[in-house]
Amino acid sequence: MRALLAALVVVAGAIGTVAYFALFIVHVNEQAIVLEFGKPVRIINDPGLFWKIPVVQTVEYFDKRILDLDTASQEVTASDQKRIVVDAFARYRIVNPLLFYQTVRDERNVRSRLGPIVESALRRVLGGTTFQDVVRDKREELMKRIAKTVNDEGKEFGLEVVDVRIKRADLPEQNSKNIFDRMRAERQREAAEFRAEGAAQGNRIRADADRQVTIITADATREGERTRGEGDAERNRIFADAFNRDPDFFAFYRSMQAYEQGMKSTDTRMLLTPDNEFFKYFNNPAGNGTPSAQPKR
């Protein structure tokens, strides 16, 4: 009985070992090729559990998903003789695992096989267009042309190139510096022109303002002189009218004004004869030079 159990255990172990080496799993994102002594005998595109002959057969797995391939930065000369530094990447997938295995062998070799094709297509397509088309006007159209070119050449490796995109398209560093310096010089020239135009406009405005000030001042001076002249004329007319109405009172009024102006609180000195006309109203209120009557005591 013990020998039978031992035999069953040995058989089960052998079966398990054979199953372990004979069975393999292909996942949903994978495809596989079964090789017999290095020669392809079966291609598996569907996921599931499969078997192989242990030791005699081996399995190579390939990704079914879309993969990325980055290319090295390269300098391209456009049709307008402008140099462009281009940094691009390609997206591809393996559609024919047998052809891919026969030509590329391994996904790690894609860079050395497909990379030069992408770089060559970039140089051919971008070299036939202008810098402006690459960076702005026709970028999408150029990407489609490059992807089609790379896809046509990539079919011989069992690959389908889904897309090619430019990550960066710029001028070389020295060219960028020269363009920046030229743009800065241009902006400085424009700024100088604007400042000169502003200064000229400011001078014109100031000159016009000065001219208007001169005109306004002259008009105001003329108007003031005219008004003062009219005032003096009116004053003289009033004085003349007052004199004609009562010459004695007018003479008295003018004398009082002369007294007020001549005898101020400051040190005023006059050297006059006693019978001088200036003080005639001090001697006689009537101002006619006749002594006034003395009051009775």
Q: What is the mean pLDDT of residues 70-75?
A: 85
Which position has the higher pLDDT, 49 or 131?
A: 49
- Measure the CA–CA gap between 245 and 223, rounded to whole angstroms: 32
- 62 touches 30 (CB < 8 A): yes
pLDDT category at 161 given cuts 50, 70, 90 is: very high
pLDDT the model gives residue 294: 45
Domains in the chain: boundaries: 2-63, 67-171, 185-241, 246-264+272-283
Q: Measuring CA to CA, how many Å separate 139 from each of 69, 73, 146, 282?
A: 20, 18, 11, 115
> What beta strand segments (E) does the chain contain?
23-26, 30-36, 39-44, 48-51, 57-63, 67-70, 74-77, 83-94, 159-170
Q: What is the mean pLDDT of residues 91-105?
A: 91
pLDDT the model gives residue 283: 65
Does 34 score more than 90 pLDDT? Answer: yes
DSSP state of 273: -
Produce one character per residue of 130-151: b if its CB has 16 or more CB atoms within 10 Å, e if not: bbebbbeeeeeebbebbbebbb
CATH code of the region 67-171: 3.30.479.30
Torsion of CA 165, 168, 170, 176, to 10 degrees: 180
- Measure the CA–CA gap between 163 and 90, rounded to whole angstroms: 6
Does 289 score more than 60 pLDDT? Answer: no
pLDDT the model gives residue 178: 65
Using a pLDDT cut of 70, give the percent of the chain over it. Answer: 84
- 70 touches 89 (CB < 8 A): yes
Two structure tokens written together for 158: 């069992």
Residues 6+ apart with CB under 8 A from 255: 278, 280, 281, 287
Which position has the higher pLDDT, 277 or 89?
A: 89
Does 270 score more than 80 pLDDT? Answer: no
pLDDT category at 62 given cuts 50, 70, 90 is: very high
Does 100 score more than 90 pLDDT? Answer: yes
pLDDT category at 293 given cuts 50, 70, 90 is: very low
Which position has the higher pLDDT, 257 or 35?
A: 35
pLDDT the model gives residue 97: 92
Tell me the sheet residues that pair with 61: 32
Two structure tokens written together for 273: 């004869």
Read off the pTM.
Answer: 0.54
Q: DSSP letters of 170-232?
A: E--HHHHHHHHHHHHHHHHHHHHHHHHHHHHHHHHHHHHHHHHHHHHHHHHHHHHHHHHHHHH
pLDDT category at 282 given cuts 50, 70, 90 is: low
- Tens of pLDDT, residue by residue over 182-201, are 788 888 889 999 999 999 99
Using a pLDDT cut of 90, give the percent of the chain over it. Answer: 29
> How high does pLDDT run on average in the chain?
82
- 42 touches 33 (CB < 8 A): yes
Range of lowest pLDDT (214-218, 240-244, 265-269): 265-269
Q: Taking the chain, what is the end-to-end CA distance rounded to the nearest angstrom?
A: 188
pLDDT category at 2 given cuts 50, 70, 90 is: confident
Backbone φ and ψ of 36, nearest 5°:
-120, 110
pLDDT the model gives residue 128: 87
pLDDT category at 284 given cuts 50, 70, 90 is: low
- Measure the CA–CA gap between 127 and 129, rounded to whole angstroms: 6
Residues 6+ apart with CB under 8 A from 262: 268, 270, 278
Which position has the higher pLDDT, 3 or 219?
A: 219
